[in-house]
Structure 1
């Protein structure tokens, strides 16, 4: 049953077949198998805290700090973040000079950004994006990981202009330290940061103390073009008057020299970003024939690939346990659900929660009914969606007068998301 990808009409039928007793059984089973203790969950499932992940982070840190390598380390030319395990390490040949392959191998991954315990709105994306064109004039950034990051510091626009890359991971000095353990800590925090969301991070970056008001307001009037997640994904739900309201709101406080109020407002915003795989590329290379590099990475179904799916099901388990205390249930918006997420979620349901092959599609229907949303319809190739959380771009299955349909969330859906992640507008 798990090999067949259901169309929306078939999903509707499965959702309509659910009953209260079946749903209760699913909830009890999920709750009974979940590792609810955060430390126990991280120790068991966080790939970057396990030996293989720590080895990669340590190896990378020694390279960028120009320290002696340890036994088993790769050098600056042969290092790859895909060396987590044997199967994944063979996906991209070490001698490949393809620039897209080098991005996957060399760029510091992003896996989780946001509080996995308390977030209410999860963006479940494919993999972290990276600029297509670097400033490679006079440098062969294919040569090794240090040259790659030197080129990564600047990017080239379509009209040939060169700019400093605002991506903090493009600047190795943000991680380099005389204390290698400190570098490892900073790299781990970049890959897995459950202390603050992307929005909070970008707002803090916008309002840094070393930036004068003129510079900040210029960025705001330029529609936050260098603040990717705030502009691309959250622009319509961060203010009741949507993006223009958000811009005006921040400008007013900046002009009154009160940046702290803005920072406080967005502090602990209840959003979290998850990637189906954490390795960076311009395009995920997930093909319908299943032969893209992205397909090959996802097919390994190792601890790296299953981690985000495990976070999702565990967050739902936490809600089931604390439903009487939580005012809003968590919502998960998926990009490319069928291509990038479906199989990992099924694997977690079977492997960790012991659901059978015959049960998993019914469990998925339950999750879609209460928790899951998608960018565009589940039947659509989501690679073409804009990714923004908007009234017409996010779809869900909803029940009206006893009939289940898939439809956009509409204006009320935007309001619902806004209220679940932010306090009432001041």
Structure 2
């Protein structure tokens, strides 16, 4: 009886916590103070300034490998391979890790050797990475994702490795184009078709387009797609479309169809509203407020972020994934620092939060806490306060769309999990009591017959 009472009281408290509001100003101040301490530790440890009062470019020069010599040279190498017909059999996007200070630390030598093996991780080696797209200084919705689409459908990475083991970059694209039934035959044309690039024969323009696939500091993928859609569509093209996964409708507008459709048009499947220019303008304005960040920038079907997979090793032991975490923390601090009546609070929606993003934040915060001079940084409180004020998560294991059925604040998700657990325990107790009551009745019946 007492157990039942305790469970019900616990459940009552948990339900009440949904509606209890903390002093947000107090939590925000504590978070801001801790972030300041964390940034000081980063500056002391790595000599890197997050340029909190400067624009994104200065920050990216210090924290983004793609803005440093290794990244610039790698993009050049990729473009030269395509334009100069150099087979570059040793080319790999994974080479971005070669000068990564975190990655070069002793340890994980087997996995470091593995990523140099041409027979393995072929998808990651050759398909163009995608890291972040959008205005990291001013966006208000940050869609913090897992890894970029693989472009080879439901093909598993081990199947791709088996089929393309040892292939050069050119061989990979030509063979995969046949698999995808793409019309283009040369590597340059295949890439233009696959990534929906505008026609240009200029090498410098092509390099700019490849760079924009990897990162874009101005436009989100949604904004890019809508811009292309509105230029390509005639009035008669705005019809009713299928949005289920297997529908070929809007296949050239991947992000709009799979991730952001409900944010723009709700549950409507008819796009006729976009015939009006004012609705196009509103959609583009909303799209500009979104920033996409991939925690793992290499293109693949499964980045293996659990156990001891390559994804987890790169995630926790490279500056590459940390860039995404720093983008998030820097944007939050800028909001807290500049906060006024006109400020729009940013929100951060995480795909695979507990499997990837939470692990990354815990890892970098724990490192900062361990520093001899950590300025009193509180690692656990910092993450808790981020979750209370800014962090949301997607609940589905499959499908990354921001929809009414797929997002919840992390604070409420944790309360919900506790409520669900308590409800299950309560249900089991009720079922168990039914069996026990039957035993008691039998015993009582036997006694009365003596």
Partner of 2:415: 405
Aligned pair partner of 2:150 in 130, 136, 151: 130
Q: Answer whether contact 1:217 1:251 (CA < 8 A) is retained.
A: yes
Residue 235 of structure 1: CA displacement? 2.5
Asked if 1:387 is matched to 2:400, the reply is yes
Q: TM-score, normalised by structure 1?
A: 0.71
Partner of 2:321: 305
Q: Answer whether contact 1:120 1:331 (CA < 8 A) is retained.
A: yes
Partner of 1:186: 209
**Structure 1 residues not aligned, in runs of 5+:** 1-8, 69-74, 157-161, 377-381, 408-426
The 3-state SS of whatever aligns with 2:133 is strand
Asked if 1:50 is matched to 2:50, the reply is no
Q: Answer whether contact 2:60 2:67 (CA < 8 A) is retained.
A: yes
Relative to structure 1, is the Cα distance of residues 361 and 167 closer, same or farther in structure 2, using a 3 angstrom cutoff? farther
Partner of 2:300: 281
Q: Which structure has the larger Rg over C-alpha atoms?
A: 2
Q: Distance in 2 between matches of 1:97 and 1:309?
A: 31
Q: Distance in 2 between matches of 1:42 and 1:391?
A: 33
Residue 168 of structure 1: CA displacement? 6.5
Residue 397 of structure 1: CA displacement? 4.4
Q: Distance in 2 between matches of 1:370 and 1:199?
A: 26
Partner of 2:394: 375
Q: Distance in 2 between matches of 1:357 and 1:285?
A: 35
The 3-state SS of whatever aligns with 2:311 is helix
Partner of 1:295: 312
Residue 216 of structure 1: CA displacement? 5.6
Q: Distance in 1 between matches of 2:253 and 2:195?
A: 20
Kindly report which structure 2 residues correspond to 1:137-286, keeping only aligned pairs within 5 A, or say none: 142=165, 143-153=167-177, 156=180, 162=181, 171=194, 174=197, 180-209=203-232, 212-214=234-236, 217=239, 224-239=250-265, 242-244=266-268, 247-248=269-270, 250-254=271-275, 260-268=277-285, 269=287, 270-286=289-305
Q: Distance in 1 between matches of 2:199 and 2:97?
A: 26
Residue 174 of structure 1: CA displacement? 3.8
Residue 199 of structure 1: CA displacement? 1.6
Residue 212 of structure 1: CA displacement? 4.7
Q: Distance in 1 between matches of 2:132 and 2:151?
A: 20
Q: Answer whether contact 1:133 1:155 (CA < 8 A) is retained.
A: no
1:187-239 deviation line (CA, Å, top 9, x unaligned)? 22211112111221222232333x55555647678653443222222232213
Relative to structure 1, is the Cα distance of residues 152 and 175 closer, same or farther in structure 2, using a 3 angstrom cutoff? farther
Q: Distance in 2 between matches of 1:190 and 1:112?
A: 9
Aligned pair partner of 1:80 in 64, 89, 92: 92
The 3-state SS of whatever aligns with 2:378 is helix
Aligned residues: 357
Residue 112 of structure 1: CA displacement? 0.6
Relative to structure 1, is the Cα distance of residues 67 and 362 closer, same or farther in structure 2, using a 3 angstrom cutoff? same
Relative to structure 1, is the Cα distance of residues 368 and 216 closer, same or farther in structure 2, using a 3 angstrom cutoff? same
The 3-state SS of whatever aligns with 1:237 is helix
Bigger share in helix: 2
1:270-313 deviation line (CA, Å, top 9, x unaligned)? 111110011000122223xx2222122213232x1111111100
Q: Distance in 1 between matches of 2:294 and 2:237?
A: 32
Q: Distance in 1 between matches of 2:362 and 2:192?
A: 32
Q: Answer whether contact 1:375 1:393 (CA < 8 A) is retained.
A: yes
Q: Distance in 2 between matches of 1:24 and 1:167?
A: 51
Q: Answer whether contact 1:110 1:191 (CA < 8 A) is retained.
A: yes
1:119-144 deviation line (CA, Å, top 9, x unaligned)? 111111111121335999xxx75521
Q: Answer whether contact 1:309 1:345 (CA < 8 A) is retained.
A: yes
Q: TM-score, normalised by structure 2?
A: 0.67
Relative to structure 1, is the Cα distance of residues 350 and 243 closer, same or farther in structure 2, using a 3 angstrom cutoff? same
Relative to structure 1, is the Cα distance of residues 390 and 174 closer, same or farther in structure 2, using a 3 angstrom cutoff? closer
Q: Answer whether contact 2:347 2:391 (CA < 8 A) is retained.
A: yes
